[in-house]
Chain A
Amino acid sequence: MSASKRTLNDLEIGSRARITELDTTNEITQRLMIMGVLPDSEVKLVQIAPLGDPIAIEIAGRRLSLRRREAASIQIQNA
């Protein structure tokens, strides 16, 4: 059970984590990395939209919004 990988979607509002891996088969990953979503950087979940999707994260001084679908391809571990 605990072996199941944690993704950005498992974060709670206000909590931080470290990005471990990005799904490089997903085309959006290239764009996310260019915008600064890189392995080993610290990420904070700042907001969840009223309807549960999308979410807003803070990473490397930038605030980004992304959908749950994209967030699922970003793996994390505790900071």
Chain B
Amino acid sequence: MSTTTEAPLKAAATRPLQIALIGNPNTGKTSLFNALTGLRQRVGNYPGVTVEKKSGTIFLPDGAAYLLDLPGTYSLSANSLDERVVIDVLSGHIPGVHRPDVIVCVVDATNLQRNLFLASQVAELEIPMVLVLNVWDAALKQGLNIDIEVLSKRLGVPIVPTVARKGTGVNLIPAAIKEAHQDRRCMTRLSWPEHFESAVKDIRKAVEKQSDIELTDVEIRRMIFDANSAVLAHFDTIGPEIRRAIDNARRSLRKAGLNPMSAEALLHYGHLDKLLDGVAQSEGTKTQGSTGGIDRILMHRGWGLVIFLAMMYVVFQSVYSWAGPFMDWIDTAKSWLQNLVSPHLAALPMLQSLVTDGLIEGVGAFIIFLPQILILFFFIALLEDTGYMARAAFLMDKLLSWCGLNGKSFVPMLSSYACAIPGIMATRTIEDPKTRLATILVAPFMSCSARLPVYLLLIGAFIEPRYGSFVAGLVLFAMHFVGLAVAIPVAWVLTRYVFHSQAQPFVMEMPPYRLPRPRDIFWRMWDAAWEFIKRAGTIILAITVIIWALLYFPRPPELAEEVRQSYIAEKVATEGVPPSAIAAQLEDDSSEAAWQLSNAIDSAYLNQSIMGRMGKFFEPIFRPAGFDWKITVGVLASFPAREVIISTLGVIYALGGDVDEESGDLRSSLANATWPEGPRAGQPVFTIPVVIAIMVFFALCQQCGATLAVIAKEVGWRWAATSFIMMTVLAWLGAVLVYQIA
């Protein structure tokens, strides 16, 4: 045995085989991955980019192997870091991910030549390959006659025809992987014109002078073909020598009569035409069966829109209302847990408060969104797997394209009306990274269901009594448009002036309609839920504890006694009963007096807590919007979760933290609140302009720790911070503007 073959075999023996799954979108790659790995799959992220990393374990005839599911793509072309992930994995540039030993390339058998473009690019990496011809049943039905034996010989790799949705043929893949690996079966590669290969060598020389990084020939070719090649981002600065070498390569292509923009496609397709000549013959027509007929209805100018709006209504209503009972259960379970734990910690009041008011309350308030996420992802999986999602994007594209978004932003934005968290997670369906980022940044402006209690409280307390229920309904309706009205110009400014992505092209394949598979839908829901729960256990827990501490400390024990004394003194003065009688009343925990006192104590502690002091400190900032320090505390305390304003106001106005938006006591307390001092002393705090200013503030502000955590998870902390600052500033401006004008 020669020494050259020994080395890789030895290396491979020490670790499980690394296999990468690659293919165009809509080829059934995900179905195949689910069928191959089943329960043995994991989801994560590639370092530094927003691309989801799915991997799992598969069993080969001689042991377990690691299977990595690469994002669906039409080519190795990479103009952004997100797009670079595929070529980085295949070139071995991702830390912690070995260069694959075998590549499994999935192609749609009904469209062999176009699908093989990616395989032909991958072939140049000279990694052993297995070619999977999926939707084989549809190919047979269309009368395509593909001679697998001849094709396998021509391409030089094992070929497995499958119907991944039904699992047919999937069991033959492991043996084919083993065969490809043992015999090093690489796909027949395109041979480039001579002078072009020398241009690649020149670029390599220039690269080696500047950097230690080992680039593959495939990566160097990307620098030539891709206008803004992301491969260049490997270098901190791109030296003039590299630039010159790239320009030379492009020039040599032009001299040979090839345009660098189109040469790659033309040469690869020419190569494939030769390989496929006489192998794949079509006996019938190549139309997509029933797809055309269904599209005539679903994409009809009139009916198409009606059906689309009806479907979106069902999705939105389901996320909104089906989730209700489950959210109530989670809420009940949360209270049950609090009541269960609380008595055991009575001896340690601080720990009791940390566990019940901090941990269980905070994490519970986050987990409560899980039902909405599961329901939304059920529908997203259904819409995507049937092929309808692409049609929905087609119908809506024009409405969103002028402000820099595209048709695929529609579903995430609509779902954000229920809750921004599933909405932001739904942006994963948007391929273009800039469009996705813009959608993520505007989604939290949509009026989510957590804003509703705030609107209901304020409208119920101030608008309805004064102007009647018609105006109240109108104001509620209008509040749902405030966010949208701000979001559209924000998206326009972001895409035009921040991302400089003028009119992103929007080219999208509309896959044939197919029946979805329950297993694939299940995995989609599972992935989304699991990612979300992981957040709850980490970042949300931390935020929760911090906010709890700000509200809890400092806590001088003597304050409770002081409040008690002054409460008794006040009672004595107003009711003329002896102090002993009041003290006796207070002994009984269930008495009205005891309840009042405990609320007064909570209120006193909140007043002098760090958060209370911050409220007074920040009051001048919110004064132009007409907010007093109590509203300011409410605003500050609501940053982790906006609906907290109601229980915070309850505590501040000494009604206890258990009030809700229907609470008559809270409504009347707010209506009776007056300025204690200053130029407006004695005047009511909550005038109509203040009420509207508060609602506008809540409509625009990023007051949701869970949303921020999800944004950070999806696109990084930098953008979460951007979202927070941008929305808070806009909310403040909006509130001040409303108050000053009104």
Contact = CB atoms under 8 A, between A and B. Distances in A.
Contact of A34 (B77, B398, B401, B511): B77
A50 B401 contact: no
A44 to B, nearest CB: 10
Interface string A1-38: 00000000000000000000010110111111111101
A70 B265 contact: no
A70 B701 CA distance: 37
B292 interface: yes
A53 B505 CA distance: 13
A79 interface: no
Contacts of B292: 46
A65 B510 contact: yes
A31 B227 CA distance: 11
Contact of A56 (B74, B110, B394): B394
B354 to A, nearest CB: 54
B277 interface: no
Given A27-B227, A49-B398, A65 B266 contact: no
Q: Interface size bucket, A side?
A: 20 to 34
A63 B26 CA distance: 12
Contacts of B113: 60
A77 interface: no
Contact of A49 (B75, B259, B394): B394
Contacts of A36: 114, 117
A9 to B, nearest CB: 15
B274 interface: no
B510 A67 contact: no
B261 A24 contact: yes
B688 to A, nearest CB: 39
Contacts of A62: 111, 114, 509
A53 B397 contact: yes
B506 interface: yes
**DSSP class of A's interface residues: helix, strand, loop or mixed?**
mixed
A28 B288 CA distance: 26
B509 A30 contact: no
Given A35-B114, A38-B269, A54-B398, A69 B262 contact: no
A35 B299 contact: no
B505 A47 contact: no
A69 B305 contact: no
Interface residues of B, number: 46
Contacts of B509: 35, 62-65
Given A35-B74, A53-B401, A60-B111, A65 B265 contact: no
B510 A29 contact: no
B301 interface: yes
Contact of A38 (B265, B299, B395): B265
A45 to B, nearest CB: 13
Nearest to A70: B505
Given A24-B261, A54-B397, A63 B225 contact: no
Contacts of B507: 28, 31-32, 35, 64-66, 70
A13 to B, nearest CB: 10
B390 interface: yes
A53 B259 CA distance: 30
B290 to A, nearest CB: 13
A69 B286 CA distance: 28
Contacts of B393: 65
B602 to A, nearest CB: 55
Interface in A57-79: 60-67, 69-70
A62 B110 CA distance: 10
Q: Which of B75, B264, B510 has the most CB of A within 10 A?
A: B510
Interface in B385-413: 390, 393-395, 397-399, 401, 407
B390 A65 contact: yes
A31 B305 CA distance: 29
Most central of A25, A38, A48, A61 by chain B CB within 10 Å: A61
Given A31-B505, A65-B508, A65-B510, A24 B399 contact: no
Given A33-B266, A49-B398, 17 more contacts: A27-B227, A30-B264, A31-B75, A38-B269, A47-B295, A48-B301, A50-B302, A50-B395, A52-B398, A54-B394, A60-B111, A63-B291, A65-B509, A65-B510, A66-B505, A66-B506, A67-B401
29 contacts: A24-B261, A28-B505, A30-B77, A30-B227, A34-B75, A34-B117, A34-B264, A35-B509, A49-B299, A49-B397, A50-B305, A53-B398, A53-B401, A54-B407, A56-B299, A56-B510, A61-B286, A62-B111, A63-B511, A64-B509, A65-B393, A65-B508, A65-B509, A65-B510, A66-B505, A66-B508, A69-B503, A70-B506, A70-B507
